[in-house]
Chain A
Amino acid sequence: MPRLIRNGAIVEDHGPEVLDLEQWLESTERSSRAVVLEPGESLASLLAHIDEIPMVLVNFPTFMDGRGFSYARELRERGYKGEIRAVGHFLRDQLTYLSRCGFNAFEFDDESELEEALPSLADFSEAYQASVDRPQPLFRRRAK
Chain B
Amino acid sequence: MYVYDEYDQKIVDERVAQYRDQTARFLDGKLTDEQFLPLRLQNGLYVQRLAPMLRIAVPYGLMSSRQLRKIAQLSRDYDKGYVHVSTRQNIQFNWPELAEVPDLLAELASVQMHSIQTSGNCIRNTTTDQYAGVAVDELEDPRPWCEIIRQWSTLHPEFAFLPRKFKIAVCGTAEDRAAIYAHDIGLELVHNAAGEKGFKVLVGGGLGRTPVIGSQICPFLEPQHLLTYLEAILRVYNQHGRRDNKYKARIKILVKAMGVDAFREAVEKEWAVLRDGPSTLTEDEISRARSFFTAPVYQSLDAETVAAALAEQCSSDPVFGNWVKRNTVAHRVPGYRIVNVSLKATGYAPGDITDEQLELVADLADQYSFGELRTTHEQNIVLADVEQGQLYGLWQALQKAGLATANIGYLTDIICCPGGDYCSLANAKSIPVAEAIQARFEDMDYVYDLGPLELNISGCMNACGHHHIGHIGVLGVDKKGQEFYQVSLGGSQGKDASIGKILGPSFKQEDMPDILENLLTTFLSLRQEDEAFIDTYRRVGIDPFKERVYA
Residues on the B chain within 8 Å of A65, using CB: 161, 243
A97 CB within 8 Å of chain B: yes
B10 pairs with A126, CB closer than 8 A? yes
- Comparing A26-34, A49-57, A127-135, the segment that makes contact with chain B is A127-135
Q: Could you say which of A97, A124, A129, A130 contacts B14, with CB atoms under 8 Å apart?
A: A124
A78 pairs with B273, CB closer than 8 A? yes
A81 CB within 8 Å of chain B: no
B18 pairs with A123, CB closer than 8 A? yes
- Comparing A8-16, A17-25, A66-74, the segment that makes contact with chain B is A66-74
Residues on the A chain within 8 Å of B7, using CB: 126, 138, 142
A69 pairs with B158, CB closer than 8 A? yes
B296 CB within 8 Å of chain A: no
Closest to B18 in A: A123
A66 pairs with B160, CB closer than 8 A? yes
Q: How many A-B residue pairs have CB under 8 A?
A: 104
Q: Could you say which of A70, A91, A97, A144 contacts B235, with CB atoms under 8 Å apart?
A: A70
B157 pairs with A101, CB closer than 8 A? yes
A94, chain B: closest CB distance, angstroms: 8
Bound complex: CA A144 to CA B282 (Å):
13
Closest to A71 in B: B239
B151 pairs with A96, CB closer than 8 A? no
B47 CB within 8 Å of chain A: no
A96 pairs with B10, CB closer than 8 A? no
B158 pairs with A73, CB closer than 8 A? yes
Q: Could you say which of A66, A124, A129, A137 contacts B161, with CB atoms under 8 Å apart?
A: A66
Given the known A-B contacts A64-B121, A77-B273, A97-B160, are A126 and B11 also in contact in the complex, defined by CB atoms under 8 Å? yes
Bound complex: CA A97 to CA B155 (Å):
8
Interface secondary structure of A, over-half rule: loop
Residues on the B chain within 8 Å of A137, using CB: 152, 227, 278-279
Residues on the B chain within 8 Å of A67, using CB: 238-239, 243
Given the known A-B contacts A125-B10, A128-B151, are A139 and B281 also in contact in the complex, defined by CB atoms under 8 Å? yes
Closest to A72 in B: B158
B161 pairs with A96, CB closer than 8 A? no
> 1/0 contact trace for A78-114 toward B, CB 8 Å?
1000000000000101101110110000000000000
A124 pairs with B155, CB closer than 8 A? yes
B18 pairs with A93, CB closer than 8 A? yes
> 1/0 contact trace for B146-164 toward A, CB 8 Å?
0000011011111111110
New A-B pairs, 13, CB < 8 Å, besides A70-B235, A129-B152, A139-B284: A63-B35, A64-B161, A66-B159, A91-B35, A98-B157, A101-B157, A128-B152, A135-B278, A136-B278, A139-B285, A140-B278, A140-B285, A142-B7
Could you show 26 A-B contacts with beta carbons less than 8 Å apart?
A64-B38, A64-B161, A65-B161, A65-B243, A66-B162, A66-B238, A69-B158, A69-B238, A70-B158, A70-B238, A91-B35, A98-B157, A100-B157, A123-B14, A123-B17, A123-B18, A124-B18, A127-B157, A128-B151, A128-B154, A128-B155, A128-B156, A129-B156, A129-B157, A138-B151, A142-B288
Chain B residues proximal to chain A, CB less than 8 Å: 5, 7, 10-11, 14-15, 17-18, 22, 35, 38-39, 121, 151-152, 154-163, 227, 235, 238-239, 243, 273-274, 277-279, 281-282, 284-285, 288
Closest 5 pairs between A and B when the two form their complex, measured CB to CB: A66-B161, A100-B157, A97-B157, A139-B285, A128-B151
